[in-house]
Structure 1
């Protein structure tokens, strides 16, 4: 019987965030976690920024005060407290392409660790495992680029020099 080691389980779990978009028999990406129109064979990550909702409480006048001809108040105005939710900013889903699981080998992850260490973002040992320390360093690297995620984007992998950049015609 083959028993998975702790490191192989950790690698499998760390790669679980990578969703491979494989076409089905009809050639579509149906059922895969990817943005609409994603190319077959590509992998994607998703960042959801929650909506910003504010609770607004107001006093609303139900009826005005009744006064006589001299201005004396016969009955005061009546008010009700109304509470409602207001959406200040809609929820935003950001899709980003990631290196697929077949690319994220232990050698690749070791290269990620070395590249982040060279930028003073990773200070741990080169373990070739996608551990919490490596994920935190990835997030620190990507945050100034506008991506608050600990899953390595394909763009970040290219910027780190770990994945080839395609040449456009």
Structure 2
């Protein structure tokens, strides 16, 4: 009996539903926890405030190769103090992590805020600062992302994903005040 024949008797629609359920389990997107924090797929750092959205920049680990000389055979010394045979060394190399991999988290506007009006306002704010020369379309296109990247890189955040801090600096998101 072949593998294909083992599915005989099962309607194609049932087989398709089983396959779709399996794919859905594998591709499950982020969910919202009981506290309102977006979780799943690493979309929020531990302890993130409820109802916030986050972006991250992974920083790769810094690894260096360390080479050491290891003594294989020690030198043989004659009774008069002269060297009979020289010592034998072997070079051993190993990789050593100098700085571990880290994730740099930054808060971003949540997707419901990314309306056509919001992106149009972002494009106008970037135009006013000479960073965006494209049309005000309300579309988060490549030119808009490049402008966001330029502004944020100058501020020390090399990402084309708009951060809350940059949005506040551009004057398009309200600055929260503590009473």
Give yes or no for the alignment of 1:43 onto 2:59.
Answer: no
C-alpha deviations, 1:77-112, integer Å up to 9, x for none? Answer: 111111111222222211111111111111111111
Which residue does the alignment assign to 2:83? 73
In our comparison, the structure showing a higher alpha carbon Rg is 2
Separation of aligned partners in 2, 1:123 and 1:64: 71
TM-score using structure 2 length:
0.74
- Higher relative CO (Cα under 8 Å, sequence separation at least 6) belongs to 1
Which residue does the alignment assign to 1:103? 113
Separation of aligned partners in 1, 2:31 and 2:163: 15
Q: How does 1:45-64 map to 2 (within 5 A)?
A: 45-64=55-74
Separation of aligned partners in 1, 2:36 and 2:145: 32
Q: SS at 2:112's partner residue?
A: coil
Query: Is the Cα–Cα contact under 8 Å of residues 55 and 85 in structure 1 kept in the other structure?
Result: yes
Give the length in aligned residue pairs: 149
Aligned with 2:176 (options 149, 166, 169)? 166
Q: SS at 1:61's partner residue?
A: strand
Q: Which runs of 5+ in 2 are unaligned?
A: 1-28
Greater helix proportion: 2
Give yes or no for the alignment of 1:153 onto 2:159.
Answer: no
Query: Is the Cα–Cα contact under 8 Å of residues 149 and 159 in structure 2 kept in the other structure?
Result: yes
RMSD between aligned residues: 2.2
Separation of aligned partners in 1, 2:100 and 2:139: 36
Q: CA deviation at 1:30?
A: 7.4
Q: Which runs of 5+ in 1 are unaligned?
A: 1-18
Q: How does 1:129-140 map to 2 (within 5 A)?
A: 129-140=139-150
TM-score using structure 1 length:
0.78
Separation of aligned partners in 2, 1:127 and 1:51: 39
* Distance verdict in 2 for CA 1:20–1:108, change over 3 Å: farther
